[in-house]
Amino acid sequence: MSAVLKPPRFANAEEYLAWEELQPGRHEYVDGEVYAMVGARLTHNTISLNACMWLRQALKGRPCRVYGLEAKLQISESGDHLYPDVMVTCDPRDRDTAEDHFVRHPWLVVEVLSDSTAAYDRGRKFELYRGIGTLTHYLLVEQSRPHAELFFKNPLGQWVLQPLALPDAMQMDTLGQPWPVASLYEDVDFVPVARPAGMPQPLPDPGR
């Protein structure tokens, strides 16, 4: 999750990257604005690590790399940068040691949703990610319940939504095997979320 930070404001991405290397925390850079990445719940971290570990094992021996919370993704030629929770690239251009500061060509991005960022991750952030030519899969994972949403690009170039529940598994050709949704939630204890005012309350369980 992130919050706008003022100042600084940079003339170009090179200034941002040089400044970011010296910072103790992480900052995203979009349209000339800097956004501080604020702390996330431990559940968020657990889900992100689960995704990284499963993907690394599934892609072992393949020319692919899995990156987590600390890796930057350049999303535009102008130099905008985001920090996805998880991303996977199999593009040889991302193995160029001369560009070891960020990824440019992922095929999968994973974001773990929180109450404060869910609308942004589904809206503007997804819009930014769709500008990446190599991206074909975008996975949104909820942390308050076992539910995920997989957006994938079909052969016509259209983005299609596939809702996913706990018993489901995701099919992605690059992985070579089904990815169980349950693997995302290992060691996760769900914390009940307060219902918004005016939302109907669940009916009592007649068996109790």
Q: Per-residue pLDDT tens for 79-131?
A: 788 999 999 999 999 987 666 679 999 999 999 998 888 999 999 999 999 99
- pLDDT at res. 26: 77
Q: Contact 178/159 with Cβ under 8 angstroms?
A: no
What's the CATH code of the domain at 53?
3.90.1570.10
Which residue range is the domain that position 154 belongs to? Answer: 41-185
Question: How many domains does the chain fold into?
Answer: 1
Task: Give the separation between CA 108 and CA 161, rounded to whole angstroms.
Answer: 14
Q: Is residue 8 part of a domain?
A: no
According to DSSP, residue 76 is labeled: S
- pLDDT at res. 86: 97
Q: For residue 51, what are its two tokens?
A: 């995704």
Listed residue (84, 65, 43, 54) closest to 170, CA to CA = 54
Task: Give the separation between CA 186 and CA 125, rounded to whole angstroms.
Answer: 27
Q: Is residue 206 part of a domain?
A: no
pTM: 0.83
- pLDDT at res. 76: 81
Q: Is residue 35 part of a domain?
A: no
Q: Is residue 140 part of a domain?
A: yes
Task: Give the separation between CA 196 and CA 199, rounded to whole angstroms.
Answer: 6
- pLDDT at res. 4: 47
Q: Is residue 172 part of a domain?
A: yes
Task: Give the separation between CA 65 and CA 199, rounded to whole angstroms.
Answer: 43
Kindly give the parts of the chain with pLDDT less than 50. 1, 4-5, 7, 208
- pLDDT at res. 129: 96
Q: Is residue 203 part of a domain?
A: no
- pLDDT at res. 113: 94
Q: Is residue 110 part of a domain?
A: yes
